[in-house]
Amino acid sequence: MSFLSKKKIVNVFLFCACMLATTCRVHLKAQDTLSAEKNEIFVAFDSWGLAEQLLIPGKFSVIGRIGWIRNNNFILSSEGGNMFFTRQVSDSIKSFNYNATGYFLRAGFEKNIFRRNRPGERNFILIGSHLAYSSTQHSGTNIIIPDKYWGTRQYSFPKSSFEYVWIDFSIGIRSQLSRYFALGWELKINRLLYSKGGSSISPYYIAGFGKSKSKTTVGINYYLYYTLAW
């Protein structure tokens, strides 16, 4: 159902929980240098997009995010990124070269439900929803399938483009490290609403969404934030 197996999702959650617990302990022990700002603009970079290739060889994404926080309570944010996926296989059963690229745009809101901050702290537990769009292209070359009855077959398919629209529901945590920097992770459940393509062969991965074989996927992001509060 998702672009990560259940085992991999559990491992990622454990890793994120450990990282956030460590940063929170360091933050709580440090001298409080934050004032009681209520509003904020931020930019963020998703480090998980690059680290993903450790679990899925040949796949990585470059993702950035901007947003505005009002009264430490309501957040409007937008996000965009590019995905790159390459797979080369050559064995006794099959052989092929596959390439996919694409971009996505995502925008929506989050609500802060954490109300236990000490004076001057800016930590968040967030729930939200977003609408997203993706344009993804893919192509395949040198596709060779041996067959003892019909002989070896070889073919390819040219680059074709697909468009997708989906909605997601998210939950996340953000911990302020200092006045200007924060760390946070987000878990999201994506539900495909619309798709349009130029061929019968769908991309293996949809930029920003995950595997195309399911209309529902699970995604995770791990952000480093730069914040300006007032």
Residue 140: which domain range? 6-229
CATH at 204: 2.40.160
Closest CA to 138 of 188, 211, 81: 211
pTM value is: 0.79
Domain count, the chain: 1
Query: Model confidence over 14-61: pLDDT tens digits?
Result: 565 555 555 555 444 444 444 467 899 999 999 999 999 999 999 999
* pLDDT in the model for residue 5: 53
- Is 204 a domain residue? yes
Is 15 in contact with 7 (CB distance < 8 Å)?
Answer: no
Residue 191 vs residues 42, 75, 119, 130, 195: alpha-carbon distances, Å: 27, 22, 38, 11, 12
- Which residues, given as ranges, of the chain have pLDDT below 50? 1-4, 26-35
- Is 115 a domain residue? yes
